[in-house]
Amino acid sequence: MVNPNPNLTAERPTFVTHLECSMTGESYPADQLHNLSRVGKPLLVRYDLDAVRAAVPRAMIEARPTDLWRWRELLPVRHARDIVSLGEIETPLVPVARSGGPNVLVKDEGRLPTGSFKARGLVMAVSMAKALGVTKIAMPTNGNAGAALAAYATRCGIETIVLCPDDTPEINVREIAAQGGRVYRVNGLIDDCGAIVAKGAAEGLWFDFSTLKEPYRIEGKKTMGLELAAQLRWTLPDAIFYPTGGGTGLIGMWKAFAEMEALGWIGSKRPKMFAVQASGCAPIVRAFEAGEEHAERWEDASTVAAGIRVPRAVGDFLILRAVRESGGVAMAVGDPAILRAVDDCARRDGLLLCPEGGATLAAYREALRLGLVDEEESAVLFNCATGLKYPMPDASETLDRHQPIDLAAL
């Protein structure tokens, strides 16, 4: 049966013109497989925005179902037949008035397929891999990316090999295998896993799907920025707090804002972008504070927020540029503050965040204290995965149904 969502079936004109090195601006042809540019930097997808502007008025977007594929003219997939969808819905903006404040919204990305926003990036990257004839993919992951990769790749018959640190959250390791990925626990961190993946790719054994080492995950993650604008009636919040590992989402949203401005969909106002890291792994924060353009590897990285335990990011300079241009800040929060924020949000607002989402709430509170934002300003915090994927403390008690129970005391 044909999917009744016209976003998934409509044939579309596509507007991709070429890919471009994010460092040198050198141009690369579209419709071919690429990893990094010649100088080892991420490639960005470029569109004929004048043509999009002429063909796609904002009202046309508004008339469509609200899922990720409503943005198709700003996405790289050329043919509907290549879309490998699991139902990429628009995620809600949930107010957290008690734990956050009167102008704080959580964009709850845990509602996406596979329970994290990695679905946005991987649905795009896998659809493009399918379009370009890839049959085998390998990827290093802290968990959620591997799960999303396994799900989408399995769905279209692409083989996957996923390498994760041996202390990756257990549910991630198991969901990867459950969804058809071959998963290995490696005694190292994500960049150690990445080195193994790179070696196999160099030997021609598989295609390397590491963060930012293929061009299309950014395009998928970019939809967070597009969606935000549509949800806020074509305005942007005053501040965005983003838990930053590889930084795909932050880089993607920044790109989305520029594209929407070029299309005349939004004005020139930008949110202050806050790149949030954990104190136990904060290479971007260290580089930000030192005024550097690149970030050195963070040794002995450790944090409960597994998704942002990324000691080294190939897109470091893109994250740092976006944060600085926006007038934002890269800031680190400690694990105790992260866990307190998760607990507080669940207890007081009924919203269970993942630890990385907790990090954004902790950072928001710290930014308030430091006067980097004020309560009047609107802020959007990204909760990037469902809190249900992570271990929770057991606070239950037991009842013996064979004994008298003092019901009033329960």
Ligand X SMILES: *Cc1c(COP(=O)(O)O)cnc(C)c1O
Nearer of residues 265 and 317 to ligand X, judged by Cβ = 317
Beta-strand relationship, 93-95 and 104-108: antiparallel
Structure tokens at 253: 């949203």
Nearer of residues 14 and 210 to ligand X, judged by Cβ = 210
Q: What is the 3-state secondary structure (H, E, C) of 203-238?
A: CCCCEECCCCCCCCHHHHHHHHHHHHHHHCCCCCCC
DSSP strands (E only) in 62-205: 93-95, 104-108, 136-140, 159-165, 182-186
Least distance (Å) between residue 17 CB and ligand X: 25
Least distance (Å) between residue 392 CB and ligand X: 15
Least distance (Å) between residue 351 CB and ligand X: 15
Least distance (Å) between residue 33 CB and ligand X: 22
Give the sheet arrangement for strand 207-208, strand by strand. 182-186, 159-165, 136-140, 207-208
Contact status, residue 252 vs residue 221, Cβ threshold 8 Å: yes
Nearer of residues 74 and 354 to ligand X, judged by Cβ = 354
* Residue nearest ligand X, CB atom distance: 307
Instruction: Give 38-100 as a DSSP string.
Output: TTS--EEEEE-HHHHHHH--HHHHHTS-SSGGGGGGGSS---GGG---S--PPPPEEE-TTTT
Angstrom distance (rounded) from CA 197 to CA 286: 27
Nearer of residues 56 and 194 to ligand X, judged by Cβ = 194
Least distance (Å) between residue 266 CB and ligand X: 22
Nearer of residues 8 and 250 to ligand X, judged by Cβ = 250
Structure tokens at 351: 């919203």
Least distance (Å) between residue 202 CB and ligand X: 23
Nearer of residues 49 and 305 to ligand X, judged by Cβ = 305
Question: Distance of alpha carbon 67 from its chain centroid, rounded?
Answer: 16
Least distance (Å) between residue 382 CB and ligand X: 8
Residues that bind ligand X (CB under 6 A): 116, 118, 144-145, 211, 243-249, 307-308, 354, 356, 384-385
> Which burial class, exposed, middle or buried, applies to 324 when counting CB atoms under 10 A from its CB (0-12, 13-18, 19+)?
middle
Contact status, residue 111 vs residue 352, Cβ threshold 8 Å: no
Nearer of residues 242 and 265 to ligand X, judged by Cβ = 242
Least distance (Å) between residue 243 CB and ligand X: 4
Nearer of residues 127 and 244 to ligand X, judged by Cβ = 244
Instruction: Tell me which H or E stretch contains 273.
Output: strand 272-278
